[in-house]
Amino acid sequence: MNSKKILILDYSTDRSETSNIKRWLPLESYVSSLFIDSEASFPSDLIKDDFTHVIHTGSALSITEPAPFTDKAVKYIQDCRKKGISQMGICYGHQLVCRALLGKHVVRASPQGFEAGWCLVAFTRKAMDLFPVKENETVWQHHFDEVTQLPEGSEILATNPHTKFQSFINWDQRLLGTQFHPEFDKETGNKVFLEDRELLEKNKYDVDAIIRKGPSLEWGRVFFDFFPTWD
């Protein structure tokens, strides 16, 4: 595992994603991170660094609106694919990867509206073969946008009535994506829901009911144990 050199590209507007993800990654891995909020913050020569794995984080930003760093992120994702670097996208990062590899027409505001809370998703047989999961599990959700098409050769790992592509894997292109957030456990996830009480209540969510719930598994151990094992 010492050969794993993992880069976290943190697109969160509050700089919170790095710490939430890093705590789950194997201690023996080399992990570095960059907070990305502008064109200048995304190094033009980043692809020259010898990272073996890249994690694209979630964000309060909307994938439907170009960010100052979007063009550089798109090129970097494309270059990573060419070099065979393993990439994982979480929520906004999942949408960004698909947008970079297929075009902006494959991301949109969800016609189902805002999905938030501890929500059920259905895992596929492929997912149950890869991970210690049951068919129906509870995960942390907080998103307005979604992906409508996956890169060629992708396999769906999870879905639900709100969002078809809740998780996917692509072996040939070395991609792993989750619309939900595996980095949050009950404590850290509920902290975000309490901080976002005004937004959630505006969208007709009962925050007090939400925080009485929690995840069905420690999802950080499931996904962040698996992702670095890709050679």
- 5-229: CATH topology is Rossmann fold (3.40.50)
CA distances from 49 to 6, 32, 45, 83, 147 (A): 11, 11, 8, 11, 29
The tens digit of pLDDT for each residue in 135-185 reads 999 999 999 999 999 999 999 999 999 999 999 999 999 999 999 999 999
- Tens digits of per-residue pLDDT, 35-57? 999 999 999 999 999 999 999 99
What predicted TM-score, i.e. pTM, was given to this entire model?
A: 0.97
Domain spans of the chain, in order of start: 5-229
